[in-house]
A = this chain, B = another copy of it.
Amino acid sequence: MKHIPFKGVIAYPITPFDKDGKVDLPLFRRLVERLVNSGSHGIAPLGSTGVLPYLSDPEKEAVTEATIQQVAGRVPTLVGVSNLTTDKTIYHARFAEKAGATAVMIIPMSYWKLTDQEIIEHYDAVASKISIPIMAYNNPATGGVDMSPALLKRLLEIPNVTMIKESTGDVQRMHYLRKELGEEVAFYNGSNPLALAAFAAGATGWCTAAPNLIPGLNMGLYNAILNNDLASARKVFYEQVDLLKFIVTKGLPRAIKAGLQLLGEDGGHLRGPLKPLNNDEILELEQILSTIKELDYQFS
């Protein structure tokens, strides 16, 4: 039986920097603590939200260790270990396992478009070097390669590749995965505006940075789905869809940082070339947040 340690809402923290451009680990731990306290069902550091590709190796290691120490087993952890080269991916996957991660997430980052065979061998090579489960992640918009449903199916034949995260924004990909792989396959939605459609299609979980800002509405959607209450799920989805679209459109690290500050939290600094939202964008976010903040507290 496949080992599938995640379901529900898997929350992605940002990686904040201090004013000198260094990772601000104390702030990072506070942000992780907020996510655990908000009821998130899993914590996923070093994702796109966590600007994984912009970090040095020692920074990635420090963030991994800080997450595991802070979460302290209260919920499972999913550590991003993707890298352009196979050797480096193995290196970080082994580090995450040794540090106590529940599972690792791997997107086949590409500069040169990879062939299917190159992708399979990449996952095979990493999987053979660790014992914890792997979530294979498809996101052509950031990773640069689009894995076909057939390729994702092939990856699931690797014993510890047990989960698929789909972020293409095409719900028909999820239909295919479910039809081809049966009800036991665990697929996760990584496209925030598809949260309702993906749960309707049978997604096991939702990988999202939104709980940094509106955890009550996020958990509320999942709970309505668990209760088989579509009318309520639709209602709570439409209450949050504007925020979900905003954070995706503006880029998750920039939008979450700005949202945290609007909520009175410290969001830290960004690492260049990423810049803060401009004033118009912040005003737009403020307006969206103000209309849903109270709704969020009702759910949390």
How far, in angstroms, from A254 to B225 measured CA to CA in the complex?
A: 38
Q: Is A51 in contact with B171, judged by CB distance below 8 angstroms?
A: no
Q: CA of A108 to CA of B196 in the docked complex: distance in angstroms?
A: 31
Per-residue interface assignment for chain A, residues 107 to 151, with 1 indicating a CB less than 8 Å from any chain B CB and 0 otherwise: 010011111011101100100000000000000011010000000
**A233 proximity list for chain B (CB < 8 A):** 200, 230
Q: What's the Cα separation between A118 and B278 when bound, in Å?
A: 11
**What is the bound-complex CA distance between A296 and B87, given in angstroms?**
39
Mark contacts of A200-239 with chain B using CB atoms, 8 A cut-off: 1 yes-contact digit, 0 otherwise.
1110000000000000000000000100111101100010
Are A271's CB and B85's CB within 8 A? yes
Report which of B108, B115, B194, B197 forms a contact with A275, defined as CB distance below 8 A.
B115
CB < 8 Å neighbour of A202 from B114, B202, B234: B234
A229 neighbours in B (Cβ, 8 Å): 228, 230
Looking at the assembled complex, report how far the CB atom of A151 sits from the nearest CB atom of chain B, in whole angstroms.
14
Give the interface size bracket for A toward B.
35 or more
Q: Can you list 18 A-B contacts (CB < 8 A)? A: A48-B111, A48-B112, A53-B84, A54-B85, A85-B271, A85-B273, A108-B273, A112-B251, A112-B253, A112-B254, A113-B141, A118-B273, A125-B272, A175-B238, A197-B197, A197-B201, A202-B234, A228-B229
Q: Tell me, in angstroms, the Cα distance from A112 to B271 when the chains sit together.
A: 12
Structural contact, B197 and A118, CB atoms closer than 8 A: no
Q: Is A86 an interface residue (CB 8 A)?
A: yes
